[in-house]
Chains A and B, each alone.
Chain A
């Protein structure tokens, strides 16, 4: 099996598995006052210090949550509510157009239910939020802004945003900036304090930790109304009994990942470059989306392509049948891949946006993975192109549409046919 979907989730590190297993067999509620409770509490607080040290934050700024989606919701809604409560004029949210749905949908919920007004920050053709665009949006009415949210690195196309520059700009106006750094941790050096961000999301299962655990780094002076009320854990911002084994394993994964980051980034980027070269050699008209390889503005493990004339679901199925696992990278509705809002925001048309695939490499990826993909991608794309055209044929059993050879020859035709309203 060739696993090229590390951006979706990456295998747990052995150190994290060991930490979790060890903690699972001990009893203790970290809020209890007896010795079992104190032992659990100690594990949690050590974990908090580990995460804080790795992320350049203070331990009191680490709020453990149930993962990225919760952290994003807590930051976006909690900071919005708190800032609006302080000053009713602050009801505007500035959010990049390429955010993950955990931010996107939370922002839209605020617009639908809490009187928020939203300004979507445009991105350039590579998926990057430009500081000038943010400045212009702030300048329209700085006093009316509740918060700004811009992801550190995009989960689909791997584009890294200049978060420190954006956060400094927000700081000039006293506006808090939240950043979803789920994809950035372990790939980009993050110093929360130096970045100037007020809140930062990270999650366990993208860094070799377990599912269902993550953290929100929340600046000490950043107001935030809780989503969850109860026992008052986590600075009274996030109630709920602490999941000691998961937190222990999560912190372990963050520590190991961060310690290995500099060498990992070099290794995985080299492998990624091989993958991009291999795909472009097999499918010369494939288009690499986002920032060019070699530019530090791209996540080292990300390769995201558009394959003209193909439907993403066909590509996915054909690769899956050949033991190669990847993703379209975009959200599904009832299992149906939607045209990616990220690619659309970058200026792609809906048809080519649906013909896209993300390959993402991680800590256990090897050259053999790249070779496996290289040996299959040409045939798979040719086959998917045929299927992309098939929807337009009026009867089965006619002469099959010849596979384009070289693939470039039929691309324009495929794209035009596909845009004529097929299942693409």
Chain B
């Protein structure tokens, strides 16, 4: 196959590209330039879009002996990922930009361009296992559950998955690093990237304020309706958040308060006790099914954010609507995040049954 290896400059995508070469594919490496004004050097472990990262990716490609190019997706990234991120926060939702980036950039814009340029697949360094069974893609959790990224890939369509390769999904991170070292890839000891790549200082609140300005509102006690304080914008809050609420008076019961819901139109942030944070049911929409849509009631495990947030559930799907009844309450379920449905499988890895965007909770 002709394979386009997306190379971020990190260890995972370098080893993924190396394995694609070993598998006998004709591999070309591409680094995506996503920032219109890239920094020259990495700062700490954040970000993945500096000139230094591009250089690291190029060095890895040199060592693998594959052609390497930098493709400019900055405009598209700004439009599809950054603007969506800002817009979602402004609407009181909590987006996952990595999901959007996979959906719109890596496995849409990049994959489309790759296919048009006669490639058969795009390979990335994601930790997830992918196989094609009876013509249908099966996406499963990585062997290394601590690193598993099936959550951020679950929104890919079957067609996108059919043209994807995740060569390191069946490996532990520590083994990937050791392999990079054995292969002489200088990125073997590069720190993992964290946080949101387009907010290099990690201060999401400040970033959103610079984009959205201030839109003051009230912090309201969900039970009593009492105004507990004021804030500078709903975009500074996420459902389930405890720290940084800026409420001076302690709760009557002395327990910590949490954000329960955001109302962007009125600017109201409702807060309450941990007890009220538990969600029993989720309404989700825009489902993506790797195979046939779920029929009837399906027992599964639902995951509501990239790390943690798991609960057994019963799910039913009706066209664009997905109803999720949780067997045990989940905390911190934020509209805008993705709910991914898994069928547990301790041997082959939990299988992704489908995913949908969280619209409302109850």
A positions within 8 Å CB-CB of B? 313-314, 316-318, 320-321, 332-337, 383-384, 386-387, 389-391, 393-397, 400-401, 421-423
- Determine if A396 and B159 form an interchain contact, defined as CB atoms under 8 angstroms apart: yes
Contact partner, B115, options A336, A390, A422, Cβ 8 Å? A390
Question: How far does the alpha carbon of A334 sit from the alpha carbon of B117 in the complex, in Å?
Answer: 22
Contact partner, B160, options A313, A335, A337, A396, Cβ 8 Å? A396
Known A313-B71, A397-B159; further 7 A-B contacts with Cβ < 8 A = A335-B54, A387-B117, A390-B113, A396-B159, A397-B163, A400-B116, A422-B76
Within 8 A of A (CB), among B20-50: 28, 31, 33, 38
Q: Is B136 among interface residues, defined by CB-CB distance under 8 A?
A: no
- Determine if B67 and A320 form an interchain contact, defined as CB atoms under 8 angstroms apart: yes
| 17 pairs of residues in contact across A and B, judged by CB atoms under 8 Å | A313-B71, A313-B72, A320-B67, A334-B38, A336-B71, A336-B74, A386-B116, A390-B113, A390-B115, A390-B116, A396-B108, A396-B112, A397-B162, A397-B163, A421-B76, A421-B79, A422-B109
- Determine if A395 and B31 form an interchain contact, defined as CB atoms under 8 angstroms apart: no
Q: Is B75 among interface residues, defined by CB-CB distance under 8 A?
A: yes
Q: Is B276 among interface residues, defined by CB-CB distance under 8 A?
A: no
Separation in Å of the A205 CB from the closest CB of chain B? 22
Q: Is B289 among interface residues, defined by CB-CB distance under 8 A?
A: no
The DSSP consensus for interface residues of chain A is mixed
Closest partner residue, chain A, to B58 (CB atom)? A335
Closest partner residue, chain A, to B2 (CB atom)? A321
Given contacts A421-B76, A423-B75, A423-B76, contact A334 B112 (CB under 8 A): no
- Determine if B118 and A383 form an interchain contact, defined as CB atoms under 8 angstroms apart: yes
Q: Which residues of B contact A397 (CB under 8 A)?
A: 159, 162-163
Contact partner, A387, options B107, B113, B160, Cβ 8 Å? B113
Contact partner, A334, options B70, B107, B162, Cβ 8 Å? B70
Contact partner, B67, options A321, A390, A395, Cβ 8 Å? A321
Within 8 A of A (CB), among B89-121: 107-109, 111-113, 115-118
Q: Is B51 among interface residues, defined by CB-CB distance under 8 A?
A: yes
> Which 9 pairs from chain A and chain B are nearest by CB?
A335-B70, A397-B159, A390-B116, A387-B116, A390-B112, A336-B72, A386-B116, A334-B51, A336-B33
Separation in Å of the B39 CB from the closest CB of chain A? 10
How many residue pairs bridge A and B at CB < 8 Å? 84
Separation in Å of the B116 CB from the closest CB of chain A? 4
Closest partner residue, chain B, to A320 (CB atom)? B67
Contact partner, B111, options A396, A400, A401, Cβ 8 Å? A396
Closest partner residue, chain A, to B158 (CB atom)? A397
Q: Which residues of A contact B28 (CB under 8 A)?
A: 317, 321
Separation in Å of the A417 CB from the closest CB of chain B? 12
Question: How far does the alpha carbon of A332 sit from the alpha carbon of B51 in the complex, in Å?
Answer: 12
Q: Which residues of A contact B79 (CB under 8 A)?
A: 421
Separation in Å of the A377 CB from the closest CB of chain B? 16
Q: Which residues of A contact B76 (CB under 8 A)?
A: 391, 421-423
Q: Which residues of B contact A393 (CB under 8 A)?
A: 112
Closest partner residue, chain A, to B74 (CB atom)? A336
Given contacts A397-B159, A421-B79, contact A389 B116 (CB under 8 A): yes
- Determine if B72 and A391 form an interchain contact, defined as CB atoms under 8 angstroms apart: no
Bits for B300-337, please: 1 = Cβ < 8 Å to A, else 0. 00000000000000000000000000000000000000
- Determine if A395 and B162 form an interchain contact, defined as CB atoms under 8 angstroms apart: no
Q: Which residues of A contact B118 (CB under 8 A)?
A: 383
Question: How far does the alpha carbon of A391 sit from the alpha carbon of B113 in the complex, in Å?
Answer: 6
Within 8 A of A (CB), among B49-97: 51, 54, 58, 67, 69-76, 79
Question: How far does the alpha carbon of A396 sit from the alpha carbon of B107 in the complex, in Å?
Answer: 9
- Determine if B54 and A318 form an interchain contact, defined as CB atoms under 8 angstroms apart: no
Question: How far does the alpha carbon of A28 sit from the alpha carbon of B226 in the complex, in Å?
Answer: 88
Question: How far does the alpha carbon of A318 sit from the alpha carbon of B51 in the complex, in Å?
Answer: 24
Within 8 A of A (CB), among B150-200: 157, 159-160, 162-163
